Amino acid sequence: MTQTQEQTREGYLEAPGGRVWYRIAGADADGIPLLLLHGGPGAGHDYLESLEKLTDQRPVVFYDQLGCGRSDIPDDVSLWQMERFVREVDAVREGLGLERIHLLGQSWGGFLAIEYMLGKPRGIVSLTLASTSASVDEFLREARRLLSELPVEARETIERCEAEGKTDTPEYLAATMAFYQRHLCRMDPWPPAMMRSMGNVMASPVYGTMWGPSEFTLTGNLEGWDRTARLSEITAPTLITAGRYDEMGASCQETLRKGIPKSELRIFENSSHSAHAEEPEAYLATVREFLGRVEKTAV
């Protein structure tokens, strides 16, 4: 079915702390809707737009989490907490009448999806955890290992700027790009949607509050977040995806696979942290097959 303007709904919903913007692509499509939780925190929905092609089977629901993108950006640092973002997922579901959904969380959105699932929400037909981890410390170990493999000049610049507290300088940002181009997105140039999401992060207060100055340096309130010991509580069929060169390294994916009972793992050999953009056809086919297979057996 060809996507038409009439099949797309968008607008604003009330959530804890402010309004969030949403868009439902393929709103008239058959199939159980897929709700997307974007990364960052603060990246907005933009970089996930390629997943709109899944509307050949189902509605795909995008939203910008509070504090970024088209949603409200309140000047209240107390809002940037995991617990509020969990409540926001419920607000989106309630506001849009999403009683039964497939849930996909990418990167930080995967952290959020895991936390949400541990609250035993009703109506989750399946879970997809894309390029994520159940533990920030495990992720940081992997990221620091990858950082040690960067060219010496970039690595030394990063280490010096962090030691001197100069993480907002152009030289630090330039050096971190050496890491991002290997392990965040290996496309050259980056797609416009990815660049918009990077702009969202830079304009949002959420990333700095919850995470820190870079992907591999945690100074925010997510410090210590670890749900490894509780992964067995996730009972929904779960697809785990990651790229071979992903900043969320191999140990993170194995921890998820071993911990979640009904899980399966797919590694994309030519991708890093953005397999949905780096290998779009293979990624879409994998997710499409998984969602359809689970849906056939769902009660």
Cα separations (Å) of 295 from 57, 92, 127, 141, 241?
11, 22, 12, 36, 19
What per-residue confidence (pLDDT) applies to 5? Answer: 38
Q: Is the pLDDT of residue 264 over 70?
A: yes
**Which domains, and CATH codes, for the chain?**
5-297 (3.40.50.1820)
Query: Which residues are designated catalytic?
Result: 107, 246, 273
User: Containing H/E element for 178?
Assistant: helix 170-183
What per-residue confidence (pLDDT) applies to 98? Answer: 98
Q: What is the DSSP letter of 185?
A: -
The token pair that represents 146 in the structure block: 């990858």
Q: Which pLDDT band holds residue 272 (cuts at 50, 70, 90)?
A: very high
Please give the Cα distance from 22 to 45 (Å, whole number): 9
Secondary structure string (H, E, C) spanning 106-137: ECHHHHHHHHHHCCCCCCEEEEEEECCCCEHH
Spatial CA neighbour of 148 closest among 208, 95, 216:
216
Q: Are strands 60-63 and 101-106 parallel, antiparallel or unpaired?
A: unpaired
Q: What is the CB-side half-sphere exposure of residue 145 using CA atoms within 13 A?
A: 14
Q: Is the pLDDT of residue 4 over 50?
A: no
Highest-pLDDT range among 4-13, 103-112, 165-174 = 103-112
3-state secondary structure of 101: strand
Q: What is the pTM of this model?
A: 0.95
Q: Which pLDDT band holds residue 2 (cuts at 50, 70, 90)?
A: very low
3-state secondary structure of 34: strand
